[in-house]
Structures are given as C-alpha cells and as structure tokens.
Structure 1
C-alpha cells in the first residue's frame, strides 16, 4: 500500500504456518469438546493476555483493552464475550451454538456514559490447539461519533 489506498473491510490479521493453521478452528473440535466436557457444565474462561487494543481507522488514539476482558463458554450460556475498554465502557456479545462458534458474534456497547459510545461491533475468533488452549481474535467496533476501530488480541484458557 502506498498510503493512498484505504481498506473498508476486515483484513486477515494473522498469517499462520501450515502446522498452526491446521489447529485453528472457529468452533470447538470434537477432541476439544471431549477434553472440556466436564468444565463446560460450570464454565470455561479465557482471559485477555494481549493485543493491539482497538486501533482507529483514521489513525487516532488507540483504545486499550483492559486485562479483565474475557470469553466464557458454558453449556447453559453458550459463548459470552466481554471486552472492557479504557474510557469507553464495554462491548458485550453472545452466541448459542453446540460447537461454541466464535464467528460473527455481534457486540453491543454498554456503560459508556454520555459520550464515547460505539453503535455496534463484531467479534471473530479462532481456537488454537487440539484442546483449545488459546483464542486469537479480531474485535471491531464502530459508530458515527466514534468512527471505526479494530484490533487483534489473544485470550488464554484458565487452568482448572
């Protein structure tokens, strides 16, 4: 890109080797479901460990994603996403799926006060590894007053 071209769609955010790409999945594999079966009754939590934060498409200030952000999987609630933003409230989303799909989870904005409110967002993720020890994600948020933001991040499953 020479700087005069802009992208209006999400782009691939992580390039993976063949060995790693074979272990990526938008839904829990059969082996991961078997390994996590008992834990899914009470809930399996993945915690935010790092990423870029939300980067504005216009080149402004990055919105940090706070360390208490998480993804919870449970048989009763499905997938629950909670992205905590520094000074911008939180983005919440959920998905009911037998295989706990991380594709296209719509996010709503809460607790943002009188300003700094996104109108919507989307979460896409991939489980990494046979037993889904990690989730890599792309988080997007947008609004007429805030503009468009996106950023990749990693969530790691808590040991139980």
Structure 2
C-alpha cells in the first residue's frame, strides 16, 4: 500500500494562465501584508487619536509639541474651555486668569472629547464627563484626562 505524500485532501490548485498557481495561504498572507502596509502608509502607529467628531484614527503621540501656539487666551471662556483637536489639547479656564491644559483624548477608548459645556468636558463616544481640571465626573472613563502643560503670554496660549 502506498501512503499519500501530502496531508491535504484538497487537490493542488490548477495553474492560471500567465503565471504560477497561488495557494490559499499565500493569498491570505499577502492580503494581511497589504493591510499592514496600508495602515503604515497612512501614518498608523499605535495609540488612538481622533478628529472633532470623535472618530478614531491612529497616531503615536499627541500632535501638539512644545512651542505650538494654540490660539488666543480670549477664546477660552471663564468656567469653560476650548478644544484644539489638531493638537489634541483642551484648555480650560476654571477661574479668571487660571488656564489648565489637558489631553483631549478620553482615557476610556481614545476618542477625542467633543465639547466643553456646563463646566464639564464631554466625550462623544460613551458620554464620559470630566471636570475642568480633568477629573472624572461620570464614566465609563476610570481615570482623568492627562495633563498638558500650557503657558499664556502676550494673550496667546502655547504648549510648554
């Protein structure tokens, strides 16, 4: 009795016109490599950032770097805040002349907070709410927004 030399019960794929046959595993591996390449080409790296609508996108670190001018201090109302989505920063002014910089990325699942209203910073994805100092007011977020250092000079807010 002669034993088969392959363990597959499927017949070998027939060669295609114009090139060699490509097996299913090779096709799947190639598709996976193409998907990884597409993510890398789009700048994907690891952590999540978002646009103003809270839609997740990829990126490695907060976009704003030290020295980035965010905008005029007059854009941040007393008892409220302003979101600078491009720099992934929220700046609040809990009381006149006191500015607080916070990450605009919700620690729950990485969405960008979408608004500052009624003295709270709101994440649109799962409705986490944070106080003007970044502390969790209402979950599902379990930890506060990360601090970001800002300075105010000559009427402008700058990342420190």
TM class by smaller structure = 0.3 to 0.5
TM-score under structure 2 normalisation? 0.32
Structure ranking higher in strand proportion: 1
Structure ranking higher in helix proportion: 2
| Greater relative contact order (CA < 8 Å, ≥ 6 in sequence) | 1
